Amino acid sequence: MNNKKLRLVSWNVNGLRAAVKKDFLKSMEQLDADVLMLQETKLSEDQRTDEMLLVDGYDSHWAYSSVKKGYSGVAAYTRPVPLAVAPGIGIERFDNEGRILELDFEDFILFNVYFPNGQMSDERLQYKMDFYEAFFAHADRLRKKGRSLVITGDFNTAHNEIDLKNPKPNSKRSGFLPVEREVLDRLVERGYVDTFRHFNPDTVKYSWWSYRFNARANNAGWRIDYFFVTQDIIDKGWVTRTFIDNDILGSDHCPVGIELTL
């Protein structure tokens, strides 16, 4: 993989079956990712179609919810062949909703994560906080072994006021609670870098819009989809571009991405 350019893209498709009906494959071709990571596929294994599985030039990897059908789920389409792929972090409580794929590309480990939404109840908010803690403890163990990490997906949290249209009215809503924002503060303190914000400190751009109130047309959105990398990847100059592609439709989220030169 040395001296190669890699385009990594992440997209919460809010149901892959629905996305396929909205020109997903055409959008996938347009995105031209070397690795495309999807969240919220809402699929069980037997619901995948040949159209989803047999995409020219790509292998696909999947994680499914075992607790509820048509819920959660992540997938990755890869041109380069990963050395290993693991669905989850080895903790049943956090793996059984199909929220994590770990792909080892030798030079770095790539995580595709659909972090939980905490809006439904206090119990789900606590689950979200516990999930953050367990996942990043797993990530830290890999860092201590000398691994470089790329972590992408729907984090379900806007970090700072610049990352959502209406910060004050949402400050008591899960997704922008102080306790959730502090998790992202601590990640930055621990040497994880939000690539988009690192290269675009003052840019206002969103990756998710409510289906209500004509939010996307009015650009009343949230930036909750991220690419975080370990500091060493920044230091080595591997990240050459970051982007949020507002022009790709078909979901309430849009794709986000980075380009690496190794």
Report d(CA 232, CA 230) in Å as an integer: 6
Q: Please tell me which residue in 34, 95, 107, 154 is annotated as part of the active site.
A: 154
3-state secondary structure of 258: strand
77 is catalytic: no
Structure tokens at 128: 């979200």
Is 225 labeled as ligand-binding? Answer: no
**Alpha-carbon dihedral 185, 158, 114, 257, rounded to 10 degrees:** -90
Report d(CA 208, CA 50) in Å as an integer: 29
Number of helices (H) and strands (E) in the chain: give both, helices first: 8, 14
Collect all residues with Cβ–Cβ distance below 8 Å to 143 and sequence separation of at least 6. Answer: 149, 191, 230
Q: Please tell me which residue in 114, 127, 192, 226 is annotated as part of the active site.
A: 114
Q: Counting Cβ atoms within 10 Å, is residue 192 exposed (0-12), middle (13-18) or buried (19+)?
A: buried
Q: Please tell me which residue in 127, 159, 226, 253 is annotated as part of the active site.
A: 253
Is 219 labeled as ligand-binding? Answer: no
Is 12 labeled as ligand-binding? Answer: yes
Tell me if 51 sits within 8 A of 20, measured CB to CB.
yes
Report d(CA 207, CA 155) in Å as an integer: 11
Is 253 labeled as ligand-binding? Answer: yes
The alpha carbon of residue 156 and the mean position of all alpha carbons in its chain are separated, in whole angstroms, by: 9
71 is catalytic: no
Is 138 labeled as ligand-binding? Answer: no
Tell me if 213 sits within 8 A of 228, measured CB to CB.
no
- Residues taking part in catalysis: 114, 154, 253
Q: Which residues are annotated as a binding site?
A: 12, 40, 154, 156, 252-253
Q: Which residues are annotated as a binding site for Mg(2+)?
A: 12, 40, 154, 156, 252-253
